[in-house]
Structure 1
């Protein structure tokens, strides 16, 4: 990110500290915004009840540390962030934070709130030494539209605060199908302070994609077709950057695969095909019918719970196809689950513009703080904020992205699609902006950027270009110039 955005936001917060030097409450807000600017990107995982939020979170992290049952802790907003040693901290609404014991059962992290009711807990913070948490903090939220209004209200209050910026920089929104309630939530999130950052900050996930094809081995193919249809839906397109199908249960189990799982899949692969197919007509038949001899009903029930019938079918097919090494099998199952595509998408949509999103969130938080305070006290701060708004190109890109995905710019469809890509709507690296392969070299990037710059300059100078489209052209031109300027000079 250019220095004007992240450094400008930090400078603004420094000025705010001077303005509010005698206001403890305001200084606490400034402290929080400064911390947010320095910390990794915050990504919330949201969705309706039973959408598979905790399961997908475990898959992304690569360990079973988020509770997936319907216990007390699933009613609490829980932060998962990088820490050198495992630690769980409970933050109550009243009183001081306290550390909870870190215990594991059968490989899973177990939470115990002790004598503190879940209703009295503001949040849990789990520090965990996982490489996956180096670049972003994941926030697990209770199910939206829960039968319990209190539980649903926790997510709503956290993700859609009425008078403050949301604590999340972006949202991964899980859905089983596209319902009106999903669209309503994403519309509400876009209208929060985070949404006002000037871009669409949500990525939609079909989190139980294997169920779309009734657990057939080609279920993910069917799910990909539906995801593509949803991504072009006129109600959803302005609210989400895309729709990614993921078999969440398979992704979690593949990332936490055990030797016993591999052994069980190998035994099933060695069975008579007809006998195996009869067994796998349903989960109940799979557990109840005999065979193979080495797998008792309890072992088969565990396999169904961890992988589902889709995962078992896919695992057996891979073993029969020659993938017998446990590590290779786990990697291939994770890849087939759609998890790799999701992680890559999070990377190029959110992580590559993390500084821009964090800087804009800090500015929005400062704007919220200034409301209701006499203008004479904050005049210089507001002037500096307006200067940053107009001068930071990263913010202009974010605003253009919002316009491109909602009201439009007056450009034709082809140019709007190219403008969205060039200003980072599909990822902020130069190669992604220019539609090149990720490993494109400096020469290819320079040539493509120069061609785009010339093409958009001609469009901006064309007298037939709509006046409403000129602002978009100027932003795109500046983005192309920035890409060229970032390339090493030729020797």
Structure 2
């Protein structure tokens, strides 16, 4: 029986126990329906961290913030609803505006390949941690720099027995990465180095699965670059770097008089609004370096902005683990009912929740990843990286777990898995390792055995 089967059975049992409680049954039916949905990813964080900008970059469309919880789903045509009522969606100056009034929640359907495997939830400033983590299966938490207040919010998300048993459903995003280092041309490189350092920090590692640096404005511009903007940037790039350099020291200088190329101030102001002064510097440099078509430039901007790495992390940490994230959300939802409406028939359900949390291998993998990242478990001989990969820390596909960049024959792959299982079984039984290390090796062995079973 899979994890999803076990959790589904618990929900069915709860519906039978609480059949005389309309509130509880409505809640349970809602969590059961979530199994069939794409994984829900909330974008949360400190005010002005760039949440809506990152959402726009992921969707591939510029939306004006609504000030409400805004849910973005894939749809056949653009439409927005507040409750049962459809509300207008208008476009002005290249942006989509949803007329939501003072609504608490807005649902937006938008044709987007990026939304086929996930639902994005843009959260308003000051959104309660409990609501964010209750409505979402996973979270992108945005901040400019990691402060104690950010760590407090991240810790609060783990302050629940189910969350502690199935930890880490968060990717930390250092947003507005282009502002690091005063917006120098190497700002993104510096930001990515800072992100790598945060991953290794004991106070940060246990609270998230990854740390990614993203330049939000640049990422949005990469997804929505227009032909007239590319033409304007190409005109700027036609100048020698020395002629343009002084005018790119600040936004005021860039839109000022005495500009060395015939480009209307309104056009230059629009470029700064869309790209930021850092983005204008970078795009003109890239065009001079040979990325002189719109397609080539877009590809480079996606890569350099950190958007490509963010997408990969969402895939490896969230969409590939959809089943376990959905099961975790359902267990959290079931726990709410058991706590709010205790009754004699619910004791067996509570015991079932505890059993699933303790025995499900998917949750054991998550706990091992958390233990390795936090330093609570350290494997000898530099084996931490291999263990992280084998339990799905870099992706849950067979090739990702085995660290292969090509698909060998079935016989070759089976040989690799058998060799890996043998090595880790030896480590699980090695008396030279302490108890935590042997337990960690046993989890790796179970993951490898699951791969072997999948190969048939």
Residue 2 of structure 2 is aligned to residue 10 of structure 1: no
How do 1:29-178 residues align onto structure 2 when only pairs under 5 Å count?
29-65=27-63, 67-68=64-65, 73-74=66-67, 76-91=68-83, 97-114=84-101, 118=102, 121-143=103-125, 152=126, 154-159=127-132, 166-178=134-146
Q: Which residue matches 1:336? A: 304
Q: How many residues matched? A: 456
Moved more, 411-420 or 343-352: 411-420
- 2:216 matched to which residue of 1? 248
Deviates more, 1:204-213 or 1:186-195: 186-195
2:190 to 222, 230, 233: 222
Following superposition, the deviation at residue 26 of structure 1 comes to 1.0
Match of 2:442 in 1: 474
Q: Secondary structure at the match of 2:301?
A: helix
Identify unmatched segments of 5+ residues in structure 2.
Answer: none
Correspondent of 2:370 among 402, 405, 418: 402
Q: Distance in 1 between matches of 2:307 and 2:214?
A: 6
How far apart in 1 are the matches of 2:408 and 2:272? 43
Change (3 A) 1:86 1:194: farther
Counterparts of residues 185-200 of structure 1 (less than 5 Å): 185-192=153-160, 195-196=163-164, 198-200=166-168
Q: Distance in 2 between matches of 1:378 and 1:443?
A: 49
Deviations 1:74-132 (A, max 9, x none): 3x2111112222221224xxxxx432112111221112234xxx3xx331111111111
Shift of 1:244: 1.2
3-state SS, counterpart of residue 136 of structure 2: coil
Could you tell me how far 1:426 is from its partner in structure 2?
2.7
Per-residue deviation at 1:387?
4.5
SS of corresponding position for 1:174: strand
Preserved contact between residue 198 and residue 401 of structure 1 (Cα < 8 Å):
no
Offset at 1:226?
Answer: 1.3
Shift of 1:328: 2.4
Q: Partners in 2 of 1:274 and 1:405 — Cα distance?
A: 46
Distance 1:425 1:50, change over 3 A: same
* 2:317 aligned partner: 349
**Residue 230 of structure 2 corresponds to residue 262 of structure 1:** yes
Q: Does the aligned pair in 2 maintain the 1:169–1:357 contact within 8 Å?
A: yes
Query: What pairs with 1:267-346 in structure 2 (closer than 5 Å)?
Result: 267-346=235-314
* CA spacing shift, 1:61–1:442, aligned 2, 3 Å: farther
Residue number among 9, 23, 31 corresponding to 1:25 in the alignment: 23
Shift of residue 438 of structure 1?
6.1
**For residue 146 of structure 1, what is the aligned residue in structure 2?**
none
Query: How far apart are 1:16 and its partner, in Å?
Result: 1.8
**Could you tell me whether the CA contact under 8 Å between 1:431 and 1:445 is conserved in 2?**
no
Q: 1:380 to 1:315 in 2, by over 3 A?
A: same
TM-score, normalised by the number of residues in structure 2 = 0.93
In structure 2, relative to structure 1, the CA distance for the partners of 1:269 and 1:468 (3 Å cut) is closer
Maintained 8 Å contact 1:197/1:357: no
Match of 1:202 among 154, 170, 192: 170
Q: What are structure 1's unaligned runs of at least 5 residues?
A: 92-96, 144-151, 161-165
- 1:384 Cα shift? 4.1
Structure 1 partner of 2:392: 424
Q: CA offsets per residue over residues 345-388 of structure 1, 9 Å max, x none?
A: 11112111111111121122112211254453124434544454
> CA 1:350–1:442 in 2, change beyond 3 Å: closer, same or farther?
farther
**Aligned with residue 437 of structure 1, among 363, 380, 405:** 405
Whole-angstrom distance in 2 between the partners of 1:45 and 1:374: 33
Q: TM-score, normalised by structure 1?
A: 0.87
Residue of structure 2 aligned with 1:457, choices 425, 432, 437: 425
Q: CA RMSD in A?
A: 2.3
- Judge which range, 13-22 or 229-238, deviates more: 13-22
Match of 1:235 among 187, 203, 207: 203
